[in-house]
Structure 1
Amino acid sequence: MTNENLFMQIENLRNNMIRVGLSKGFTSAETVSLSERLDKLINLQMGLFSKVSA
């Protein structure tokens, strides 16, 4: 997985989470689930970034 690919996945998921949050509420189960997935992708990206810059 390239950093660019990961960045696109993060942006798509973030936009989806915001859309769902606005329509179903920011504490809905679906929004929280998307947020957790987004956190995992961001953590993965940060891990890749720290390996590259080390």
Structure 2
Amino acid sequence: MTNEDLFVQIENLRIKMVRVGLSKGFTSVETVSLSERLDKLINLQMGLLTKISA
């Protein structure tokens, strides 16, 4: 998986999370689950960027 692939996935998931948050509430189980998935993708991306810059 490339950094660009991750960027696209992160952006799509972020948009989905915001939409779900606006419709179901930002503390709903679904919104929180999407947020946790988003955190994992961002951490993965940061790991890749750290390896690239090292």
Aligned equivalent of 1:20: 20
Q: How many residues align?
A: 54
Question: By how many angstroms is 1:17 displaced?
Answer: 0.1
Mapped to 2, the partners of 1:35 and 1:5 lie a distance apart of 18
Amino acid at match of 2:37: R
Identity within the alignment, %: 83
Q: For structure 1, which runs of at least 5 residues remain unmatched after alignment?
A: none
Which 4+ runs in 1 deviate beyond 6 A? none
TM-score under structure 2 normalisation? 0.99
Amino acid at match of 1:4: E
Q: TM-score, normalised by structure 1?
A: 0.99
SS in 1 for 2:27: coil
RMSD: 0.2
What is the CA distance between 1:42 and its match in structure 2? Answer: 0.1
Q: SS where residue 38 of structure 1 aligns?
A: helix
Long gaps (5+) in structure 2:
none
